[in-house]
Amino acid sequence: MLPEADAFTRSIQEQIRVNQARTPTERFLALCDLLDAARAMAPRGPEARERRRRALLARQQDRENLREFCRRLVAAGATNAGAGV
Amino acid sequence: MSSADDSLPPGRPTLERAFEALVSTFNERQINYAIIGGIALIQHTRVRTTDDIDALLLVPQIGLPGLFEALRRRGFTVDLQTNVREFLDDGFTALRFDDVQIDLMRPLIPTYNHVLERAISANVLGQQVRISSAEGLIVMKLIAMRLQDQADVKDLLRSYAGKLDLEFVRAEMNTFTPVDDPRRAKFDEWVLETSHPD
């Protein structure tokens, strides 16, 4: 177990090292490249599409949870009174 | 068989255009904002998949219609009344730019204001962009504490091992967690775990 965990941690540290050597724009473009690669490699069949749809729905639910959390903060009157809203 | 599959992540041109349009609108209108979430995270740690844009912003109520109108002119899908109402009443509203989702949140607790205050500037795609500091991201992720947030906090701690203002993080945590909140112990455990490089 430990060697695998160690390898995982080392891989993350290497990814961090690589990213730290990039400029902010290069980091953003690296994300774009990653998304392009994900699009290109994504299976196109109906099952794969359905899996992605379920993932999107889960994220939408996540967003609704965040909205609900924010609503509760507003309702609790926790809003910081300041110049803005 | 070339019908668009909207379950796929957005491509590079769309994400780039969405990001540029959002940031230039904020900058032109001198909005006090910080990019948060995954797009901010990749500036501090490593590149991982994320395809929506999250921002924390402080806007005077009177400026909201103008802001959303400007975003609409830039190509964002805006429902002026709904977005203004949600931003005011819920503290949160969502927009779209093509297939990119944009989540806008206002600082609802003092901690979020402190995250805004500590935002850093970086030049991304030729524009100055306000991005949450690593400490600000940690605080926001400790509030949410979903599985991805937990992994992200560990990445942030690894990226800046020994260089973070952990006192800021702990002081903020004191404002939103009771003494026995498990997030405190978890955070201390992660700090210890990530403080030994290699």
Its sign, for the CA torsion B100, B52, B1, A46, is: negative
For chain B, what's the residue count? 198
Helices B147-159 and B134-144: crossing angle in degrees, nearest 10, is 160
What is the reported pLDDT for B2? 42
Residue B130 forms beta bridges with which residues? B121
Contact flag B108-A49 (C-beta cutoff 8 Å): no
What is the reported pLDDT for A42? 83
Smallest Cα distance from B2 to chain A, Å: 11
A12 part of contact set with chain B, CB < 8 Å: yes
What residues contact A27, with CB distance under 8 A and at least 6 apart? Answer: A19, B42, B43, B47
User: In chain A, what is the greatest distance between 2 CA atoms, to the nearest angstrom?
Assistant: 54
Let me know whether A29 and A52 are in one domain: no
Query: Per the domain annotation, does A64 fall within a domain?
Result: yes
Query: Hey, is B9 helix, strand or coil?
Result: coil
Contact flag B16-A32 (C-beta cutoff 8 Å): yes
**What's the whole-number average pLDDT of chain A?**
84
Query: Per the domain annotation, does A32 fall within a domain?
Result: yes
Query: Hey, is B1 helix, strand or coil?
Result: coil
Helix and strand counts by DSSP (H, E) for chain B: 9, 6
Query: Per the domain annotation, does A54 fall within a domain?
Result: yes
Query: Per the domain annotation, does A83 fall within a domain?
Result: no
Q: How far apart are the first and last CA of chain B?
A: 49
Question: Which of B8, B129, B146 is nearest residue A42 as measured by Cβ atoms?
Answer: B8
Q: From CA B154, how far away is CA B187, in angstroms rounded?
A: 9
Q: Each residue of B103-133: pLDDT tens digit?
A: 999 999 999 999 999 999 999 999 999 999 9
Let me know whether A1 and A34 are in one domain: yes
Smallest Cα distance from B121 to chain A, Å: 10
Query: Per the domain annotation, does A13 fall within a domain?
Result: yes
A7 part of contact set with chain B, CB < 8 Å: no
Q: From CA B114, how far away is CA A2, in angstroms rounded?
A: 39
Contact flag B8-A52 (C-beta cutoff 8 Å): yes
Q: From CA B104, how far away is CA B22, in angstroms rounded?
A: 11
Rg (CA), chain A: 20
Helix (H) or strand (E) holding B93: strand B92-97
What is the reported pLDDT for A81? 42
What is the reported pLDDT for B198? 52
Question: Which of B9, B32, B91 is nearest residue A74 as measured by Cβ atoms?
Answer: B91
**What's the whole-number average pLDDT of chain B?**
94
Query: Per the domain annotation, does A84 fall within a domain?
Result: no
Let me know whether A29 and A63 are in one domain: no
Contact flag A31-B42 (C-beta cutoff 8 Å): yes
Apex A20 CA angle, B15 and A27, nearest 5: 10
What is the reported pLDDT for A78? 52
Query: Per the domain annotation, does A49 fall within a domain?
Result: yes
Question: How, if at all, do strands B120-124 and B100-105 pair?
Answer: unpaired
Q: Which residues of A touch B61 (CB under 8 A)?
A: 84-85
Let me know whether A48 and A70 are in one domain: yes
Whole domain around residue A48: which residue ranges? 44-76
How confident is residue B31, by pLDDT bands cut at 50, 70 and 90?
Answer: very high
Smallest Cα distance from A63 to chain B, Å: 9
Q: From CA B12, how far away is CA B59, in angstroms rounded?
A: 29
Residue B34 forms beta bridges with which residues? B56
Q: What is the mean pLDDT of each run of 10 residues along chain A (85 residues)?
A: 76 95 98 92 86 89 88 73 41
Query: Hey, is B105 helix, strand or coil?
Result: strand
Contact flag A38-B49 (C-beta cutoff 8 Å): yes
Q: So where are chain B's domains?
A: 1-132, 134-198
Task: Identify the residue among B1, B6, B12, B142 best suited for mutation to test binding to A, counting A beta carbons within 10 A and taking the highest.
Answer: B12
Let me know whether A4 and A26 are in one domain: yes
Q: Give the Cβ contact number of residue B66 at 10 Å.
A: 11
Contact flag B16-A16 (C-beta cutoff 8 Å): no
B1-132: what fold? Answer: Beta Polymerase; domain 2 (3.30.460)
Total structural domains within chain A: 2
Q: From CA B152, how far away is CA B158, in angstroms rounded?
A: 10
Token pair in block for residue A20? 């730290």
Contact (Cβ atoms closer than 8 angstroms) between residue B92 and residue B6: no
Let me know whether A36 and A11 are in one domain: yes
Q: Which residues of A touch B48 (CB under 8 A)?
A: 34
Smallest Cα distance from B79 to chain A, Å: 17
Let me know whether A21 and A56 are in one domain: no
A1 part of contact set with chain B, CB < 8 Å: no
Let me know whether A27 and A62 are in one domain: no
